[in-house]
Structure 1
Amino acid sequence: MSDLAAIWCASVALACAILAVTRPAIVHALIWLVAALLSLAGCFFALGAGFAGAVQILIYAGAIVAVFVFVVMTADASPEALARERARLAQGWRRPAAAVGLVALPLALGLLAGGTSPAAAPDSGPSLGAILFGPWAVAVEVASGLLLAALMGARHLGRRREEP
């Protein structure tokens, strides 16, 4: 029964993620993103990984979405800005698509080749902390610096320009 629940939650998460990417209104996209993240938490709970589900809700559906709400609040949503952004997106989709292909191709080849299975996920807070602040401490700090830089960049790009 839990396998069926996990498959159901995964299909809901996939549908919500597709809707989050395809919605033109940023607030609607954010709501679909929250639904996708909560559906993934449901997948974790259905598969018996309660700790991972709780971390999914607290970190992603809570903290990361709060950062996205901050970005939405500071973004310039004027019709002129939206028209400029749509024109940029219509022109520049080839490079990001190539970057996704460069990342996804080795991953797909590794999965098809039957690589080694990943290590078991931590099942408690102290074991997660020991992993994140032990061998992965530098990567965690670099990721936090990148998130801070992205937040500052979003604030800088989203501020309203005062006309002289």
Structure 2
Amino acid sequence: MELAFYLSGLVAVLATVGVITGTSPVHSVVYLIVSLIAVALVFFALGAPFAGVLEIIIYAGAIMVLFVFVVMMLNLRADAERTPPLWRQPIYWLGPSLLALALLAALVALITAGDIEMAIDGELITARAIGLTLFGPWLMVVELSAILLLAALVTASHVGRRSDPGHSSTPRNAPNRGDTP
């Protein structure tokens, strides 16, 4: 258990350093996904499997997909179409591959430790209890966060939209002021 905890923590720190020092936004998002999965493994090692599953589903799943779409819509590197992709070179696969192997080793250590039961001291919280709490007294906060994410997606789409240089701002059938009928 301790080996999985420390190894997952090390992978989380190294992947976060990859996020900060990354030059490509897409690579930074991929490193962030690896970091979030490592944090989920830390939760598993600490005996909180539900928090680990929520970490993977909510953060590494839904929110990271949103980030990837926003990064792709903004197309921050306009010169990427002219240069060949660097991800095809093996040197760029070395960092993520080593981090993924370390996470795999931590997962194998967790499974072979035999402490799959993960006894938790205190009250057991079920998915039903969390759902009743989120959609009971915290319903307005959940709905406002959903609206905020939707507004961020619409804003990113608007900012990332390219204007056609041959397209004028006037409608196609609108008469010009200099035209005679």
- Verify same fold: TM over 0.5: yes
The equivalences for 1:59-138 within 5 A come to 59-76=58-75, 77-79=77-79, 123-138=125-140
Q: What 5-or-longer segments of structure 2 have no aligned partner?
A: 80-121, 167-181
Q: What is the TM-score of this pair, normalised by structure 2?
A: 0.62
Q: Deviations over 1:35-70 (max 9, x none)?
A: 001001100111111111111111111111111121
The equivalences for 1:124-163 within 5 A come to 124-163=126-165
Query: Counterpart amino acid of 1:73?
Result: M
* Secondary structure in structure 2 of the residue aligned to 1:160: coil
How many residues are aligned here?
Answer: 123
Moved over 6 A (4+): none
Query: Counterpart amino acid of 1:78?
Result: A
Question: d(CA) in 2 for partners of 1:137 and 1:126?
Answer: 15
* 1:25 paired residue number: 24
Question: d(CA) in 2 for partners of 1:126 and 1:140?
Answer: 16
Q: Is the alpha carbon distance of 1:72 and 1:152 closer, same or farther for their aligned partners in structure 2, counting shifts above 3 Å?
A: same
Question: d(CA) in 1 for partners of 2:15 and 2:56?
Answer: 16
For the 8 Å contact 1:23–1:29, the answer to whether it is kept is yes
Q: What is the TM-score of this pair, normalised by structure 1?
A: 0.68
* Secondary structure in structure 2 of the residue aligned to 1:30: helix
For the 8 Å contact 1:9–1:40, the answer to whether it is kept is yes
Question: d(CA) in 2 for partners of 1:150 and 1:121?
Answer: 37
The equivalences for 1:29-48 within 5 A come to 29-48=28-47
| Structure with greater proportional helix content | 1
* Secondary structure in structure 2 of the residue aligned to 1:60: helix
Q: Deviations over 1:73-121 (max 9, x none)?
A: 2113314xxxxxxxxxxxxxxxxxxxxxxxxxxxxxxxxxxxxxxxx89
Question: d(CA) in 2 for partners of 1:121 and 1:53?
Answer: 17
Bigger radius of gyration among the two: 2
